[in-house]
Structure 1
Amino acid sequence: METLVCTTPGQFEYRKAEKPVLTPDHTIIKIKRVGVCGTDLHAFEGTQPFFNYPRILGHELAGEIVETDGAPDFTVGEAVTFIPYFNCGKCIACRQGKPNCCTTLKVSGVHIDGGMLEYISVPSYSLVHGDGLSFDELALVEPLAIGAHGIRRADIIAGEHVLVVGAGPIGLGVMEFARIAGGKVIALDINDSRLEFCREKLNVSATVNGLTDNVAEKLAEITGGDMPTAIIDATGSLRAINTAFSYLAHGGRYVLVGLQKGDISFSHPEFHKREATLMSSRNATRADFEHVIKSMKNGLIDPKTYITHRVAFGEVKDRFESWLDPASGVIKAMVSLE
């Protein structure tokens, strides 16, 4: 079978590999779609934490079951996605129902090889029923689940102002689930075309441009002087993360979904006087995946809104670098293997 390997930062190579052989409690999936996410782009740039090379990228996946063991509720030929965070089931996090931050977590496409290939073997416990969704829709469940998990961490209250920093694919998912939870969403980005996307496609009523607006003044105006009671960062930008502390309302919560390599810093007195809460949000859980699928089926989200670029598997090597350029207008690039 054919695979696409990121050999070093900035370099891809197509390679031949043996099709996986079925092993106990695993399932072999024929990949149909691969969504390209920020993690993949950062890995290509060489800026992704928890990463080493060479690596087969890709964890936003959809396909059909070819062979299976240990998955009695699933059938050969069924359309599925899977939870690409493989956990031990035994550590303190797993015992507390938080397999998404297992102490020995292996994320497909990050710590281990992912889905830029024709067939993949995954633990059967990770399978998620397609439930009638298309391959395009199923490949979008994982990135949307990241947003759903961040909003669940933030414990959004209906009617409160929620500032989402970063209008990339993950940030857009955060906005969707903040809206579903009843939050009044404010989108903050430095790209006008992405802010326009938020207004036109996601019905976000309040947007702020971090380059051309006085952000603090505009947030105060939008919130009636209160400032946002929940802030979710989806940029992974150290400057954006540090700056957003100053936008938080007293008594507010700040959730970091985005990830970067450095140390964050903020004024302790300013943070303390707010009695603020700082949290990270890592990956997602099965409950988040199920919430996304239910939201899609109930028409609360139109996942196809996100797909702006389509490419065949054989074209990824030549097209991938162009998606790093904001001028490309990419929101979600979808790779097809059929």
Structure 2
Amino acid sequence: MGSLTFKRAFAEPVAIGVQSCRRGAVTGNDSVLVLGAGPIGLAILEVARARGAMVYVTDVDPKRLLTAAHLGAQTLDAGPGLLENVMKLTNGEGMPVVMEATGNAKVMESTTDLVAAGGRVVIVGIVPAGTSISFPGLDLTRKEMSIVGSRASVDCFSESLELLASGAIRYPEIASRFEPEQAVAVFDRLVEPNHGLHKVVFTRESK
């Protein structure tokens, strides 16, 4: 599989990153906080950086944070001190853009504390059906924040492919490559906590 052909396998997750950044109106003047350094969080990181934004990423998994740092993010610990650290970084204002990519309801609810007044919150993570999310009503008016969801990637694939072809996206570099014959063992591993794999791609190429 050629290099460009291999990169095309990442068009879909990168397109989700494109849509998320469109929904958050991310520009080169923004600082963006990405909550979660899984496959989608990393795609958002890459697209936001390609737009010129300063990107901060947080996650509970130190290995994921190392990957985010490799891709150019400033990393923050996801522990109880996250809000305090964000406020120190932003002179008490909060982040202009907060992208939630964990699918954790409590993390989603924390976005209103982390975002700046007049800022944008983009919810990308998916919670189980029937799960409710609560936001403090006063903050919605007091901070004049915008909260939007992001799921689809309509009309995003052309931009995704252009970013991949240009080399602006390094996401494919961290892929976990396997031969097709290894599929059963790989899927068994993927259901384990802390499996240590990144975006899995089955290819006839050697690792």
Task: Provide TM-score, normalisation by structure 2.
Answer: 0.90
Which string of whole-angstrom CA distances, capped at 9 and with x for unpartnered residues, describes residues 66-90 of structure 1? Answer: xxxxxxxxxxxxxxxxxxxxxxxxx
CA contact (8 A) 2:179 2:203 kept: yes
Determine if the alignment matches structure 1 residue 310 to structure 2 residue 178: yes
Which residue of the partner structure matches residue 39 of structure 2?
A: 169
Identity %: 28
Which residue of the partner structure matches residue 149 of structure 2?
A: 280
Determine if the alignment matches structure 1 residue 334 to structure 2 residue 201: yes
Which residue of the partner structure matches residue 268 of structure 1?
A: 137
CA, structure 1 residues 133+239, in 2 after alignment: closer, same or farther (shift >3 Å)?
same
Which residue of the partner structure matches residue 157 of structure 2?
A: 289
Q: Give the residue type in structure 2 aligned to 1:296.
A: L
Which string of whole-angstrom CA distances, capped at 9 and with x for unpartnered residues, describes residues 100-147 of structure 1? Answer: xxxxxxxxxxxxxxxxxxxxxxxxxxxxxxxx8633211111111101
Determine if the alignment matches structure 1 residue 242 to structure 2 residue 112: no
d(CA) in 1 for partners of 2:197, 2:90: 31
Which string of whole-angstrom CA distances, capped at 9 and with x for unpartnered residues, describes residues 267-316 of structure 1? Answer: 11122211111101112023x2111111122221124223124241x432
Which residue of the partner structure matches residue 156 of structure 1?
A: 26
Alignment of 1:223-262 (within 5 A): 223-261=90-128, 262=131
d(CA) in 2 for partners of 1:218, 1:245: 15
Partner SS state of residue 315, structure 1: helix
Which residue of the partner structure matches residue 81 of structure 2?
A: 214
* Aligned residue-pair number: 203
CA contact (8 A) 2:33 2:57 kept: yes
d(CA) in 2 for partners of 1:326, 1:171: 18
Which residue of the partner structure matches residue 197 of structure 1?
A: 67
d(CA) in 2 for partners of 1:303, 1:208: 20
| Dislocated runs of 4+, deviation >4 Å | none
Q: Give the residue type in structure 2 aligned to 1:272.
A: T
d(CA) in 1 for partners of 2:3, 2:204: 17
Determine if the alignment matches structure 1 residue 298 to structure 2 residue 175: no
Q: Give the residue type in structure 2 aligned to 1:242.
A: E
* CA RMSD across the alignment: 1.9
CA contact (8 A) 2:117 2:144 kept: yes
Shift, 1:337, TM fit: 7.0
Residue number among 166, 173, 186 corresponding to 2:56 in the alignment: 186
CA, structure 1 residues 335+137, in 2 after alignment: closer, same or farther (shift >3 Å)?
same
Partner SS state of residue 20, structure 2: helix
Shift, 1:148, TM fit: 0.9
d(CA) in 2 for partners of 1:153, 1:138: 23
Structure 1 unaligned spans of 5+: 1-31, 33-131
Q: Comparing both structures, which one devotes a greater share of its residues to helix? A: 2
Partner SS state of residue 263, structure 1: coil
CA contact (8 A) 1:167 1:189 kept: yes
CA, structure 1 residues 180+249, in 2 after alignment: closer, same or farther (shift >3 Å)?
same
Shift, 1:164, TM fit: 0.5
Higher normalized contact order (CA 8 Å, seq sep 6+, divided by chain length): 2
Q: Give the residue type in structure 2 aligned to 1:302.
A: R
Shift, 1:326, TM fit: 4.5
Structure 2 unaligned spans of 5+: none
CA contact (8 A) 1:169 1:306 kept: no
CA contact (8 A) 2:46 2:171 kept: no
d(CA) in 1 for partners of 2:171, 2:138: 42
CA, structure 1 residues 264+337, in 2 after alignment: closer, same or farther (shift >3 Å)?
farther
**More off after superposition, 303-312 vs 261-270:** 303-312
Shift, 1:329, TM fit: 1.4
**More off after superposition, 258-267 vs 327-336:** 327-336
CA contact (8 A) 2:36 2:58 kept: yes
Shift, 1:317, TM fit: 2.5
